[in-house]
């Protein structure tokens, strides 16, 4: 896998984030210093995969002929999902079915799975490819058992010890770079954009769980817990706070909202 650790890799990263890299920016006297420091991302721009291309490339376990079918349990699940949509809007189930396929394969979506989904939804395969390559939560190549998705967007860079410190900690502890998987197949490291938990920065996601308020020590402890096959505590890892409460603790929502509610069925929840 490609890994760009040189300072010049910041240039394409800037372009892909929509920021205009004007010539003056890169010809000023401070440009050399700026390029040497970590700016927005030190990894290559992610184009639908871990730094790879969106285009499909055949690998031994991922060709158009690689067999794929949903399990019996997932076939039942698909029926339930499809029942949520009008028959002429089956395409709306593309994302739920991609998620299902990704869970079934252990973290990635092979070409054959996308083709199978297209067949089930009675849509051209391209419609499924478009979705799977647009949303970064779908992996087009195999990932490790634990897909470590570290948020490196600005609030996470600035919060606590900062995501740059956490990134370096993970790279050093696992001996891998961004977009790489450990030799034992346990961990894959990816940089991602804001995961919506900025108040608990820095944070990372593994599977469906968030691990927040990270420090180098708690990050190593988290990785070691997973390596040992144990289940780590989710949420804030340091400081003892609950969820995203501020230092003063809970200050609102001590009772159920009084209403009025816009949906009568929710009134029974009060």
Strand partners, 190: 149
Please pick, from the candidates 155, 162, 207, 232, the single residue that binds ligand FES as defined by CB under 6 A.
155
Stretch that binds ligand FES, among 77-85, 98-106, 197-205, 235-243 (CB under 6 A): 197-205
Residue 197 contacts ligand FES per CB under 6 A: yes
Residue 41 or 116 having the CB closest to ligand FES: 41
> How many angstroms separate the CA atoms of 110 and 138, rounded?
10
Q: How far apart are CA 4 and CA 148, in angstroms?
A: 18
Q: Which is nearer to ligand FES, 132 or 198 (CB)?
A: 198
Cα gap 15→18, rounded to integer Å:
5
By CB under 6 A, residue 194 contacts ligand FES: yes
In the complex, minimum distance from the CB of residue 205 to ligand FES, in angstroms, rounded to a whole number: 9
Q: How far is the CB of 44 from ligand FES (least distance, A)?
A: 20
Q: What are phi and psi of 219, to 5 degrees?
A: -70, -45
Provide the CB-side half-sphere exposure for 55 (13 A, CA).
Answer: 1
Q: Does 201 bind ligand FES (CB under 6 A)?
A: yes
Please identify, among the stretches 66-74, 130-138, 150-158, 168-176, the one whose residues bind ligand FES according to the rule CB under 6 A: 150-158
Residue 198 in the binding site for ligand FES (CB under 6 A):
yes
Q: Is 195 in the site for ligand FES (CB under 6 A)?
A: yes
Interaction between residue 4 and ligand FES (CB under 6 A): no
Q: Is the dihedral of CA 173, 177, 180, 183 positive or negative?
A: negative
Q: What is the dihedral of CA 182, 206, 197, 3, to 10 degrees?
A: 20
Give the interface size with ligand FES as a residue count (CB under 6 A). 11
Short-list 148, 144, 159, CA closest to 219? 148
* Contacting residues toward ligand FES, per CB under 6 A: 151, 153, 155-156, 194-198, 201, 203
């Amino acid at each position: 896998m490609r890994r760009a650790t040189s300072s010049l890799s910041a240039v394409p990263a800037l372009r892909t984030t929509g920021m205009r890299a004007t010539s003056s920016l890169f010809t000023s006297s401070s440009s050399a210093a700026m390029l040497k420091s970590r700016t927005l991302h030190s990894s290559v721009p992610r184009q639908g995969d871990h730094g790879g291309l969106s285009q499909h490339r055949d690998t031994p376990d991922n060709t158009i002929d690689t067999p794929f079918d949903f399990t019996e349990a997932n076939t039942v699940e698909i029926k339930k999902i499809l029942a949520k949509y009008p028959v002429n809007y089956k395409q709306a189930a593309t994302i739920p079915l991609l998620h299902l396929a990704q869970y079934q394969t252990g973290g990635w979506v092979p070409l054959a799975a996308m083709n199978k989904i297209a067949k089930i939804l009675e849509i051209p395969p391209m419609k499924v490819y478009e979705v799977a390559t647009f949303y970064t939560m779908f992996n087009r190549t195999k990932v490790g058992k634990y897909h470590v998705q570290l948020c490196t967007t600005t609030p996470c860079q600035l919060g606590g010890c900062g995501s740059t410190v956490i990134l370096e900690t993970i790279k050093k502890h696992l001996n891998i770079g961004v977009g790489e998987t450990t030799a034992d197949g346990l961990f894959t490291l990816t940089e991602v954009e804001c995961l919506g938990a900025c108040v608990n920065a820095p944070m990372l996601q593994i599977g469906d769980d968030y691990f927040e308020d990270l420090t180098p020590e708690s990050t190593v402890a988290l990785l070691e817990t997973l390596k040992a096959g144990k289940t780590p505590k989710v949420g804030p890892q340091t400081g003892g706070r609950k969820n995203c409460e501020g230092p003063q603790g809970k200050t609102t929502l001590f009772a159920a909202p009084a209403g009025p509610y816009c949906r009568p069925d929710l009134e029974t929840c009060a």
